[in-house]
Amino acid sequence: MKLHVVFVVAGVEYALPITFVLQMESFTGATPVPGSPPYVLGVVTLRGRVIPVLDLRRRFGLPAVAPTLDTRIIVTQVGGRVVAFCVDRAREVILLEPERLQPAPELLSERTIGFVNGTYTVGQRLLLLLDLPRISESDHDHEPHALPAADDHRRPALPG
Amino acid sequence: MNPTPSPPPTTTADPRSRAERAAQSLRATAAETRALEESALRLTSVGNDSAALGQQLSAAVESIAASAEQTSVSTANIARSQANAAELTQTVLGGIEDSATALREVAASVVGVKKDTALLAEAAENTAAAIEESVRSIRVVASNAQDLAASSEELLASGTEMAAGIVGIAARADSAAAALVEVGATTEEMARGIERLTNDARDVSTRISSVNASTAGIAKSVLEIAERGKELGVSVANTASTAERMSRAAAVAADSAKQLEGATGQNASTVAEVAASVEEVAATSEKNARVVDDNATSVEELARSAQSVSRAAEDIARLADATATGAMQVDGSTRRIARLCEQAREVGDRVVHTAREGGGAVAKSIEGLAKIKVSIGSSAAVMKEMAQRADEIGDFVQTINLIADRTNLLSLNASIEAARAGEHGRGFAVVAEEIRSLADRAATASSDIAKIIRALQTIAREALTATMEGERVASDGASLAAAAERALTEIVTGVQEVGQSVREVAQSADEQVTVVQSLTQSSNTFRTQANLIVEAASEQAKATQDIVRGANEMRQMAKQTNQAAVEQARALRDLVRSNERLTQNAQAVAATAAEQASGATGLAQTAVQMRGLTDTTLNALNEQSTLARNIAAQTEEVRSAIDRTLVGLTEQSKGAVEIAKTLDSVHKDAQQTSKALAEQTKAGKDLEAASRSVATLAGSVTRATNEQTKAIAEIAKNAEEVRRIARQTARALDEQSGVLSSLAEGAAHQSASIAAVRKASSEQATSIGEISRAVDDMRARIREIVGVTSTQARGAQSLSRELDELSGRIVTIRAANVEQAALVEGLTASLDAGGTAAP
C-alpha cells in the first residue's frame, strides 16, 4: 500500500507516488524565463527556493488553458532535482496497492508514451501512473536545452 | 172723378169712423214698429259683441298656434339632444369594454407573477435543502453547533410563517373566485337589462307607427277643414247675392219714394186745381192704398230677412258649440303635454343621477388601478432587492469555495508531510484525510448552492420583467378608465341640455294651458251670447210675423178706406192743405230712400271684399294641408331612426353576452389559481417538515473553522431574507388580487350604471315621442278651431250687416208709418171739413 497524489490534466486522472512530492500549492503565476522551452511556465519561489514550473498540458502536447482556482502546482523531487508541475486539478491522495498496477497498454496516446508506467483501476476510475523520472530525463533526450536551462539556475551540475 | 156727386151727409159718419179705425191701426203698427226697431238695435249690439268676441277668439287661437310651433321646435331640439346622448352612451360602452380588456391583461400579468413567485418559492426551498446539505457536510467542521441549531430553528419558524402565508393566499384566492362569480352574475343581469331595453325600443317603434297614423288623420282633418272653408266661400257668395238683392230692393224703395213724391206733387196740384173734386181724393186714396200695399210687401221681405237672420244666428250658435268643444279638447291635450313634459324632466334627472353614479364607479376604477400600480411598483422593488441578495449569496458561496479549496490544499500538504514522517505521521495522515474529505463535501455543497442561486437570479429577473409588464398594463387601464370618465362627463352635459330643452317645452306648455283656458272661457261666453242672439232673433222673427199680420190687416183696411174714399170723393176737397205737407214729407222720404240705396251699394261692395278674404283663407288652409303632409314625412323619418337604434341595441345585447362568457373563463382561471395555491400550501408544509429534520440534524453538527461557520450563518441569514422577500411578494400579490377584485366589482357597477342610463334614455325617447304626438294632435285641433273661428267671424260680420240693414228698413217702415198716420189724420181732418161744408 502506497500513498499517491491524484491530479487531472485535460480530464485524465494521473497518480504520482507521494514520496516524490515535496508540497502542493495554488498556482498564482510564474516568472517567465527567457529562452526556456514553451512548456516551461517560468519559476516560482517556494519556502525560499526558486523552482522551475513545467506545464504538463504543454508537456503532453495539449493546448494550454488559462489557470483557474483549481489549478495546482505539485513540487516534486527526483533525486536531487526539484521540479514543479502545473496541473488542472489536484485534490486527492489515494492508497494504491502495487500488485494491482497494470502495464500501460499500447493504446495510450502517442504523446503520453514514455510518460506512463502503468494503470490502476479503483472502482470505476482509471488512474495513469506518471513516470516522473522519465519525464525529467526525457527532457534531456528530446529537448536538451529545455530543462538544463531551467535547472541551471539552481543546480548547474546535475548528476545523470 | 170730378163728376162724382157729393156724398150725402148721412154717409159721412161711416168713412170717418173707418178713417179713425185706420188711424188707430196705424198707431198700433207704429208702436210695434218702434218695438221692432228697439229689438233690432239690441240685436245689432249683440251682433257687434259677437263679432268682437270672434276677433278676440281668433287672436287667442293664433297665439295658441304660435305656442304650438314653439313647442314643436323645442321637441325637435329634445330629440336631437337625445340622439347626442345615445351616441355618447355608445362611446362610454366602448371605453368600458377597453377597460375590461385592460383588466384581463392585468389579471393575466398577475397570474404570471404568481407563477414566478411559485418558482421562486420552489427555488427558495431548494436553497434551503442545499443549505441543509451544506450544514450536514460541515457539521464535523463547524465550530459552533449552537449557532447553526439556532439558525435552523429560525428557518423552521420562517417555513411555518411561509406556510401560514400561503394558506392565507389560498383563502384570498378563493374569495377572489367568489367575487368573480358575482361579477359574472352581474354581467348576466346587465345582458338581461339590455334585452329589456331592446324590447322597450321596439315598443317605441310601434308607438311611432301609431303617431304616423295620427299624423295622416290630421292631414285628412285639415283637408276636411279646407272643404268647410270652401262651403264657407259658397255661403259668403250667397251672402253677397243676398246683399245685392237687398240693394235692388232699396233701389225699388227709393223709386217708390220718388213715385210717392210725384204722386203727392200731383195730388197737391190736383187738390189745388180741382179742390172740389172727389175723384182726386179717391185717386189719392187709391195711391195711398198702393203705397200701403208696397209697404206690406216690404214688411214681408223684412220677415223673410228676419228669418234668414234667425237661421244665421242658429248657425253661429252651432259654430260656437263646435268651438267650445274644440277648445275643451285643446285644453285636454295641452294638459297631457304638460304631464308628459314633467315625466320627461323626471327621466332626465334620473339619467343625470345614473350617469354621475357611473362617473363615481369609473373614478373608483382609476383609484384601484393607481393602487395596483403602486403595489406592482413595490413588488418590483422587492424583486430588485431579492436579486441583489442573491448576488450577495453568490459572493458568500465564492468565499466558501475558496476556504474549501485552501482546506483541501492544507490537508494534502499534511498528508504529504505525514507520508514523509513515515510511521510517526500515520495518525496525522488519517486526520488530514478526514479534513480533506470534509472540505471536498463543503465545496460540492457550495457549488450546488451556486447553481441554485443562479436559477434564483434568473427567476428574479423574469419576475421583474413580468412586474414591469403589469405596471404598463395598469397604466393603460388607468388611461382607458380616464377616457371613460371623460365620456361620462360628456353624457352628463348632454343630458342636462336635454333637461333644459324639456324645461323650455314645459314652460311653453304651461303658457299654452293659460292661453287655452282663456280660450275656453271666451268660447263659453261666445256660446252664451250666441244663444242670446238666437233667442233675440227668434223673438224678432215672431215680432216680424206680427208686423206682417198687422201690415196685411192694414192693407185690408186701406182697401176699405179707398172704397170709402171713392164713395166720399166729394167730401175730400179740403185735402189741398194737407197735400202740401204730404209733398214735403214725400221729398224727405225720397232723399232718405236715395241714401238707403247708396248704403245698399256699399253693402254689396263689402260682400265682394268678404268673398276675396274667404279665398285667401282657402289658400291658407291648402298650405296647412301641405304642412301636415310634411309632418307625416318627418314622423316617418323618426320611425326609421328608432329602427336603426333598435338594431344598435341588439348588437349591444350580443356584446354583453360575450362579456359574460369572458368573465366565465376568468372565473375558471381563478379556480385553477386557487388549486395551484392549495398545492403550494402542501409544499409549504413539506418544507416545514424538511426544516424540522434540519433542526434535528443540527444537533449533531461538530466544530469546524470559524470562517466557514460565519459564512454559513450569512447564507442562512440570506436564505431567511429570500424567504422574507418571497413573503413580501406574496403579500403584494394578495394586495394586487384584492385590488383586481374590487376593480372587477367597479367594472360591474359601471356596466350596471350604463345599462340604467340606457334604460332611462329610452324612456325619455318614449316620452318625447308622446309629446311630439300630443303636439301634432294639438296643432291639428288648433287648425280646426282657426277654420271654425274664421267662419264664425265672417258669419258674425254678415249677421251684423244684415242686422244693420234690418234696422234701416225698420226705420224706413216707421217713417212710412208716420207718414201714413199723418195722411190719415189729414184725411180725417178733410173728412171733418167736408162733413162741415156739406151741410
Query: Average of pLDDT values for A34-60?
Result: 91
In a domain, B444, yes or no: yes
Closest CA to B92 of B795, B750, B586, B822: B750
Which of A64-68, B367-371, B573-577, B670-674 has maximum average pLDDT? A64-68
d(CA B410, CA A73): 13
In a domain, B744, yes or no: no
* Residues of chain A found within 8 Å of residue B401, distances taken between Cβ atoms: 69
Asked if residue A62 has pLDDT above 80, the reply is yes
Confidence grade of residue B660 (pLDDT, cut at 50, 70, 90): low
Q: Percent of chain A beyond pLDDT 70?
A: 78
* Residues of chain A found within 8 Å of residue B409, distances taken between Cβ atoms: 24-26, 72
Least confident of A122-131, B604-613, B791-800: B604-613
Asked if residue A145 has pLDDT above 50, the reply is no
Cell numbers for B489, please give them.
Answer: 362627463
Asked if residue A85 has pLDDT above 90, the reply is yes
Judged by a CB distance cut-off of 8 A, whether residue A21 touches chain B is yes
Q: Is A124 exposed, middle or buried (0-12, 13-18, 19+ CB in 10 A)?
A: exposed
Asked if residue B723 has pLDDT above 50, the reply is yes
DSSP codes joined into one string, B305-329: HHHHHHHHHHHHHHHHHHHHHHHHH
Q: Which residue has the higher pLDDT, B839 or B388?
A: B388
Q: Check which CATH number belongs to the domain holding B90 and give it.
A: 1.10.287.950
* Residues of chain B found within 8 Å of residue A25, distances taken between Cβ atoms: 409
Judged by a CB distance cut-off of 8 A, whether residue B512 touches chain A is no
Least confident of A138-152, B4-18, B597-611, B677-691: A138-152
Predicted pLDDT of residue A9: 93
Q: Chain A residue closest to B426 (CA)?
A: A3
Q: Chain B residue closest to A23 (CA)?
A: B413
Query: Average of pLDDT values for B148-152?
Result: 46
Q: Which residue from B401, B413, B419 is facing A3, i.e. has the nearest CB?
A: B419
Q: Which domains does chain A have, with CATH numbers?
A: 2-151 (2.40.50.180)
Predicted pLDDT of residue A110: 55
**Residues B128-142: pLDDT tens digits?**
666 666 555 554 444
Q: Which residue has the higher pLDDT, A87 or B4?
A: A87
Asked if residue B77 has pLDDT above 70, the reply is yes
Judged by a CB distance cut-off of 8 A, whether residue A1 touches chain B is no
In a domain, B478, yes or no: yes
Predicted pLDDT of residue A151: 40
| B700 three-state secondary structure | coil
Alpha helices in A64-153 (DSSP H): 132-142, 146-151
Predicted pLDDT of residue A8: 95
Whole-structure pTM value: 0.40
Confidence grade of residue A87 (pLDDT, cut at 50, 70, 90): very high
Asked if residue B464 has pLDDT above 60, the reply is yes
Predicted pLDDT of residue B466: 80
Q: What is the ipTM score, two decimals?
A: 0.78
d(CA A12, CA A128): 8
Predicted pLDDT of residue B374: 83
Contact B408 A91 (CB under 8 A): yes
Judged by a CB distance cut-off of 8 A, whether residue A116 touches chain B is no
Confidence grade of residue A34 (pLDDT, cut at 50, 70, 90): very high
B109 Cβ contact partners less than 8 Å away, ≥ 6 residues apart: B466, B469, B470, B473
Q: What is the dihedral of CA A125, A129, A132, A133, to 10 degrees?
A: 180
Contact A93 B412 (CB under 8 A): yes
Cell numbers for B569, please give them.
Answer: 170723393
Least confident of B185-199, B480-494, B574-588: B574-588
CB atoms within 10 A of CB A67: 18
* Residue showing cell 244666428: B313
B570, B274 contact by CB (below 8 A) = no
Domain that holds residue B133: 9-691+705-723+754-837
**What's the order of all strands across the beta sheet hosting A49-55?**
A21-26, A72-78, A81-87, A49-55, A40-46
Query: Average of pLDDT values for B489-513?
Result: 77
Asked if residue B571 has pLDDT above 50, the reply is no
B799, B530 contact by CB (below 8 A) = no
Contact A72 B429 (CB under 8 A): no
Cell numbers for B289, please give them.
Answer: 192704398
| A65 three-state secondary structure | coil
Judged by a CB distance cut-off of 8 A, whether residue A22 touches chain B is yes
Show which of residues 393-422 on chain B sit within 8 Å of chain A, judged by CB atoms. Answer: 401-402, 405-406, 408-409, 412-413, 415-416, 419-420
| B141 three-state secondary structure | coil
Which of A53-67, B65-79, B325-339 has maximum average pLDDT? A53-67
B519 Cβ contact partners less than 8 Å away, ≥ 6 residues apart: B57, B60, B61, B64, B327, B330, B331, B785
Confidence grade of residue A102 (pLDDT, cut at 50, 70, 90): confident
Which of A9-18, B273-282, B294-303 has maximum average pLDDT? A9-18
What is the tally of structural domains in chain B? 1
B784, B322 contact by CB (below 8 A) = no
Q: What is the dihedral of CA A25, A28, A33, A36, to 10 degrees?
A: 60
Asked if residue B312 has pLDDT above 90, the reply is no
- Per the DSSP assignment, residues forming a β-bridge with A116 are A130
